[in-house]
Chains A and B, each alone.
Chain A
Amino acid sequence: DAGVTQSPTHLIKTRGQQVTLRCSPISGHKSVSWYQQVLGQGPQFIFQYYEKEERGRGNFPDRFSARQFPNYSSELNVNALLLGDSALYLCASSLYWSSYNEQFFGPGTRLTVL
């Protein structure tokens, strides 16, 4: 069975540009969460979407936005990129929205901002 897939694998952008990251959850999973993992640190929660509705938002600026599509895939958008946005962006999916449901992480998209 396919796990969580993310695209692209790697991305290089310059300051001020915009980026869109994509995530396909495990088949049947309705919840998608996004995390930012800066090198040498633990992942930080950005968003959770369930049934196309935003269920949670972490402490990130409005430059970060996301959406979930009817097939439960999701996009994370970051506008006006800063050097500090360089990180591994992880997508996680789970069956339902509860924090007790196991989250399955994808391999991530490595974003480098120059």
Chain B
Amino acid sequence: QQQVKQSPQSLIVQKGGISIINCAYENTAFDYFPWYQQFPGKGPALLIAIRPDVSEKKEGRFTISFNKSAKQFSLHIMDSQPGDSATYFCAASAGPQGAQKLVFGQGTRLTINP
């Protein structure tokens, strides 16, 4: 019940296209859903995050869509650029009172072809 399932494992998109990564969860106590971007040799960096009181959040070219009833959320990268090539992780955590425990998905290796 603590798992976050992420798909696809790898994704190749042409420059200018839309990259879509999906995640699903089971634990209904999760109420914070961040996306992280990780480049080789670096730690993950927060890209964008959403709380379940909204169904969509947009920051620049990055959008999170959230479906509470389906327990699914996704990351959309518009106008994908070669610099977006990285590994992306969705994550989830439960409640402000609990530990700062992020449960991560398996990751998606995104390649943007020029």
Contact = CB atoms under 8 A, between A and B. Distances in A.
Interface of A: 4, 31, 33, 35, 40-45, 48, 55-58, 90, 92, 94, 97-108
B105 A100 contact: no
Given A48-B100, A107-B43, A100 B32 contact: yes
A43 B100 contact: no
Size band of the interface chain B makes with A: 20 to 34
Contacts of A55: 99-100
Interface in B56-113: 89, 91, 93-107
Contacts of A104: 45-46
Contact of B43 (A48, A101, A105): A105
Contacts, number: 78
Contacts of B94: 99
Nearest to B104: A42
7 contacts: A31-B100, A42-B104, A42-B106, A45-B99, A55-B99, A97-B99, A108-B43
A101 B100 contact: yes
B44 A43 contact: yes
B114 interface: no
Interface of B: 4, 6, 32, 34, 36, 41-46, 49, 51, 89, 91, 93-107
Contact of B99 (A35, A48, A107, A108): A48
Contacts of B98: 56, 99
Contacts of B42: 107
